Every structure is written in C-alpha cells, then in structure tokens.
Amino acid sequence: MTSTTTTPRSATGSVALHGVTKVYGQGEHAVLALDGVSLDVAPGEFVCLVGASGCGKSTLLNLVAGLDKVSGGRIELGDGVNPGLMFQESALFPWLTVEGNVDVPLKLRRLPRAQRRERVAELLRTVHLAEFGRKRPHQLSGGMRQRVALARTLALDTPVLLMDEPFGALDAMTRDILHDELERIWAERKLTVLFVTHNVREAARLADRIILLSSRPGRIIYSTRVDVPRPRRIDSPEIASIAADVTDRLRTEVGRHGQ
C-alpha cells in the first residue's frame, strides 16, 4: 500500500480520516491494525473512541498526531495544526518543577522568558494548580500530575487535543473531578478533542459522539451522538442508558471476534 502523509484542510480544529489503513510488518508477518477508517471530527467536537484492547484506538491517535505514518488513505487537519497528545501516564520530567514542566513546550516555541512566565502562570490557574508551581512531580497526587500534563499540552496552543486514556489509572472520584475540569477547559477554549478510553461510562459522560471500533483490524462499526445536556453526571440514568447500549454492542463484537 502507498503511504500517504497528513495534509491540511481549511477549517481550523477539524480532523478528517479518509480510508485510513495501518499495517505493521511485511509479508506473512504483516498485521493489519486499522482497515479503511473514515471519520470526520468537526471543530469543537468532543469524540470518544472505544473498543476492545488491540483494536487500534491508540494507533489511530498516533497517526493523527504524526508519530506514525499511514499505510493507506489520508488524514487531513486544520491549516497549520499540530495536535497535542496526552497519554495515560503524565510523563513529567521528575527533575523539573511543575512550572518547569509546563514551560517546556513554550521554550521549544522560543517564546521570550517574560511571556513564558506569564503563560505558565495562566495555564496553572486554568488547571487549578496556581499554588503548586514550585513543587516537583513526586510531591503531587496522580490527579494533580495529570493536571500538570494537561497544562503542558495546552501550552502548545493547538485547537486539537488527542487524549489516550488520560484518566485510566486514577480512582473514580479523582477521575470524576477531572472530567469536570476537562469539560470546562474544552468548552472555554473551543477545543476539538479525540479521546480514547476503555471506560464506556466515561465516553458517555464526556462525548458529543461515541465511535466504536471493531476488534482487529479496527473498523468503525457503530457511531452514536450523546444528546444529553451538559453538565452531566457519570451516574445519571441518561448516561447509564447510553453506556449500556454501547457496552452491549462492544460485548457482541468481542464475542464475535472470540469465536
């Protein structure tokens, strides 16, 4: 298959996948990870990807982020957009303070020191960590470290945020609090979010739209809009009903693949 690079499109914050395929390896050892995935994400839309382990969710994010190349098809992003990617682990530099970690992308962008200092302070206020700038990562809770990671990603000033199970390792209460924080930041900044999760309730809580991928190779087999007014509660009957429907479809897909 011919490799196709990511190309720009006109609408800032938009993401479009056209028949995207990803193959690892060659010949008889080749593994088809994604097979003809087409998806349009509108500017400002919050889309959650769910599916069984190994279905290609993280692979898809890596392709959109430009960390890997497609084997076929193409990906289009808004003009000049370099997506920010946030992982399950905060991946903070332990030798830097909170302020220093958030400052890294600003240094890479070669912003003046005074401007960087002001921007770091603003970002820490955004994630409610203004008083923790001089702390080191080991002095923070898991939820706080993820807030720092989010602030560092926001420092990229990109309209597209890619999130690969960023709250998967956190306890339920901390995760619920960070759901509120992420939703607030997403709405305030009008971000486009592509969010990978194994937690179907989390997807229903956060998403405008949920996309279900098949077991390997990953294909889109179901898409549903979450027409529940915000703010939402993860334990509300409406969210539970949507999550149950998606979970039933996921269980069927996993069972089919197992057979």
**Residues near 119 by Cβ (< 8 Å), separated by ≥ 6?**
106, 111, 155
Torsional class of 5: left (φ above 0), alpha (ψ -120 to 50), beta (otherwise): beta
Residue 155 is assigned to a structural domain of this protein: yes
Tell me the CATH number at 119. Answer: 3.40.50.300
Residue-wise pLDDT tens digits, 104-140: 999 999 999 999 999 999 999 999 999 999 999 999 9
In 73-220, which ranges are continuous DSSP H helix? 98-108, 113-126, 142-154, 172-189, 200-206
Residue 73 is assigned to a structural domain of this protein: no
pLDDT band of 144, cuts 50, 70, 90: very high
Residue 241 is assigned to a structural domain of this protein: yes
Residue 139 is assigned to a structural domain of this protein: yes
Q: Is 179 helix (H, G, I), strand (E, B) or coil?
A: helix
pTM over 0.85: yes
Residue 119 is assigned to a structural domain of this protein: yes
**Given the DSSP bridges, would you call strands 209-213 and 46-50 parallel, antiparallel or unpaired?**
parallel
Q: What is the residue-averaged pLDDT of the chain?
A: 92
DSSP 78-115: ETT---EEE-SS----TTS-HHHHHHHHHHHTT--HHH
Do the beta carbons of residue 8 and residue 124 sit within 8 Å? no
Residue 176 is assigned to a structural domain of this protein: yes
Domain carrying residue 130: 46-65+79-258
Residue 30 is assigned to a structural domain of this protein: no
Q: Assess whether pLDDT exceeds 70 at residue 2.
A: no
Residue-wise pLDDT tens digits, 3-62: 444 555 546 688 999 999 999 998 888 999 999 999 999 999 999 999 988 899 999 999
Residue 187 is assigned to a structural domain of this protein: yes
How many structural domains is the chain composed of?
1
Q: Assess whether pLDDT exceeds 80 at residue 230.
A: yes
Q: What span, in angstroms and rounded, lies between the C-alpha atoms of 259 and 256?
A: 5
What are φ and ψ of residue 125, in 5° steps? -65, -40
b (16+ CB within 10 A) / e for 20-29: bbbbeeeeee
Task: Please list the residues that pair with 22 across neighbouring strands.
Answer: 34
